[in-house]
Structure 1
């Protein structure tokens, strides 16, 4: 009996060991399957990353082949690795010939004046890792023989670790620009020579015949000074009155029209384009009579309206010499008039099409930004992927670059503000968040100037009524000025304290040289740089003007206190508001657990374009409650439209008050694009006036939602957009 019990016990132990071993084998098998699945997913992601890198490389190649500037890239040993078509044309080298050659062998440059060789900036860039500009009057010697005036700069190429691994040289042919500048200088010198000549009189009048210009020749000939006649008399008042009466009578008979005596008789013919030489007798200041030959020309604007008359006169006592001089002057005047007409037409065109000029300026500013942002994005998506530290640095570059791109429109902002067409989205904005962003953006500039940048921490969360992007623009401008015009090793302190009732005052204090009272009075005048025009610091003189008017449009005030030798304090006061409040439905919805996605149901996508982080986060949390939806976002319309074309979302949610391109403009571009016109677009904006809603719906938004969000209304609009998207998708599949 005992033996049987022992046998049973041994069997049970053996059986237990067998079961344990089998379970361990099963677990090991499951671990193996999971590892294989993870490996398969890693391989898929690697293939996708390689494909993206190849695509980016192809895009870069196409871009370099299509831009109008010449581009040369080198490795760290200054040997050529890339030569785009424009560079090939200007240097006379083909890509195959240039690859591997020293850059100074292909890119040969000399000084335009001395004809001495000039050092290629690539070498300096590789040595110091800094951007280098070409000297003025630099000439490129083409391998084929032609010479080109060139301009532009060289920048370092860095790897993911920030090491200089090469350089990119961007230049352009400015030969025609230099020739045009030289021609303009010659015209200016010729004009000055004519009006300052003492050999003949030049008298210019306005349309009514009153003298406006009385040159030294007229002073010498007639004995009057310019101050005695300008804006006082007409040329007829300097002439023999009896002779003027006789000439008027003769002209009346000739033309069959009654002509009054005096200057009018001369003007009558000139105004009708009739060439005339007036033989008249001037009465000098001392009473002496002076026979003269006078040529009269009507001055016209671009619309052929007469704006004045030009009288060129010579002393008739030396008629033979005067005839030769007149012929020469006639040729000179014809050429001058043609060139002046061309210059006037160009100036008038620039004045009448200021927006076209500003667009060109914007393009010039965007070109270097394109390189910065492009290469930063290539680094962000390169292989291997950047480390977390590198990724953070790249993110800062991208954020700074995109924000600088937004500020290119500063000049346009001033025009929009003054015309009352600038649209702002005033909503609760976290002041601490804005200041934190501004501190990050401006820290490199402060470090470069050896200026200490100090931000006094806010003791409590603080929200102001403002437009998020425009408030950041104002603070960046104040910080930039405080750093730019500070002393070496100075300080900039940013602090906030309670201002007037219900308001908060943001102060930016610097330790610069300060401003006297007379300059303070001129501080907010457009394009007035207060004597800094010739300084090394760049600027347009409109940043403070735009900032002040933006603050006023946001319901705030802006001012300055300054003392010579003690620095300045610029302050902004804005209305305090509570933190963004969303109705109770939002909070209730956060507590609801997301229902699982039904079997076979497709996950749909929503693209949200919004520059306010609080709004972006709110919608992200709402969409998280919808298992059938996935959301991705963009902070500006340019990025948003690119994502829409690339990812084809089911629905787009678009803010109206976006930087650079607003929501209405973005909608129009989406509607005109074959790839995106079918996507339903919903508007979500703080602009809640009836006319704003009518304008949005008329522009083509499927629904126009206003902030703060009403969850039920938001979800209904989203469902309507998804339903329309499904219908349109089905229609497209049937085609």
Structure 2
């Protein structure tokens, strides 16, 4: 029979009568004797008390054990921190001592123990030592012979304040002293010190012998704040405090929370009064520097008179134990409640026979309890559970209704389900409650409008409920239809996801079809799955001709093998491959194409097929070939020009040497004939100008042809500029020119060819001298820019350069229009300068100054230290 059968009362599963064994027979005594009941009750209470005592004892014992473990853990962490911190302090002092020994050994090679020779050594030793504030060399009277601070030279320290001085070759760690440097350690006229407020140094003194045999002292000032900062960083995240003190009890450094100032004495601290010198490391729980009971761990340095102690307040150390204690208390409370519950259950079981006469009532209660559990189960379901009467009116809904409709369940009672759905689906819902339908389970997909306007989708299933009747309406033998029970599963997300996926697939297909690039996809067997319109236009084949057909209908066997080999590389290339080949278009012409192939995975993670896009790059390849041919022609023309200039210049030098030689001979023999002397002088001057022009042509040819090589080396440019200035000084003196030179104090390093760089400086300075008026001034400035470039500028007070000619003057055989006074040359000097600077990777430019005159800027790039030579031909 379909549906669910109900008894006449309408309660499913309710029993009509109690079984024969459900009630006791008349006259049977269900209750135990009163004495037995009292004895059993006392035993239960006694057992409950014993179990409760055992639980309390176990919890207390566990709590005490956890407290001991917490303190042990705090002591172990303190000992570890003390060891780490004392090792750091020892290594700091040892590093300082090693620095002093290194300086002492280096001083043995110094020609003299004076500031000029020692200060660079001290400054170099101070580098990389952030914990040192300064280094100094003292004589036997305490006078500072050399120091890393220039203002401290000549100061005199009172060595008696240092106590017993170390022997030769040994060092001594002195007590903490107030001050920042040696100047603060020098007493004033009244004998008192004037240190900066709250600033201290830890001196380390070493004695050595000078070459003359007199004793000298090396003094290093250790910054205790560096040790304190390391302590603070090491203890970051914990509530502990660390102190660094001398073996005698003087506080040297501490973390921020310690109220004592550095330099304070700690003679009453238990470490100094009870532990030292018998124990050099240890731990205890008791008094410390911080108030209250402390967990103290200490350790003495293995090689230095230093001691580090770490303190942690006992309450902080037990904080974790107290947090865990709450759980222990909760556990004990739970155990006690469990024991109490078990005791109550046991006591109730003793009176079970007395409650036997209430068995029927208890049976009814159990039925009610099951109904309540069913209600809870229905409320907890994420599906909507409902029940209707025979006409489809809702008589019950679970709590899911409230979550979906934002209304109480009572408001749903009496409403018809078909009135809640969308109008287009009401006929479908009405069919679910048809009396003529013989199906045991009826289902439909419906849509309901939520209060916020969102459309919710449900899969609904209903089952008819029948009750046994008296024959009326029971003609089919199923009983009387009393209603329907149903469930509705929210499939909104699934429906929206399916709709979104369908839209996405449609959009993807549309984008693929609209793509201007030919696109196709084929499976692992090499059969076409899809192509787009651009592919059809390129190949001239329709998709109906290729879908399901093998690849390469127009390819030769060799081309097919090539493409199959490329496809085989796809997994090794990460599923993506790009290569170039030639394909036939619809006109039968071969086109240069770039193919991009991507593996398309299937739902199981395997390979569904290969997606391939084609890009026609034929025009790009044609342009590349045309550009390459034009470049080759230009390079060949440039080589021919350079070779012609070089050969012509070499051919001109031979007759010029003869002209210069005979003109010089004529000058010597015609000293007494003024006419001949003037004539030979003009011939000689013209020959010199012609020779200069030929030399410049040769220079240009060497730079542009294959016979010139630049050897670069890392050089201080100051050492290259100064010789050129001295070389041109006679020309400047002849014109009464004043020279202002501004070179940096630090080395101005760059990778240059020294001879070529001096040639550039010589040409630029010669131009500045030519155009400067008599009695004027020249300014040469050099500096290192923040980006590492070297910048050199040469400025004059000449007529300047027209704005339209600022870039043209660097072209070959081009001179400024300001050369009408005869100061011009061949027009090749600045062109050679630009070519030389370009080979160095730099740049040269000219500009006009606001006050008159021109200024030339030279920039040389910064190069790595390993670049020693720029090879090749130019």
TM-score when normalising by structure 1? 0.28
> Which structure features the higher share of helix residues?
1
Larger Rg: 2
Which has the higher relative contact order, 1 or 2, with Cα contacts under 8 A spaced 6 or more apart?
Answer: 2
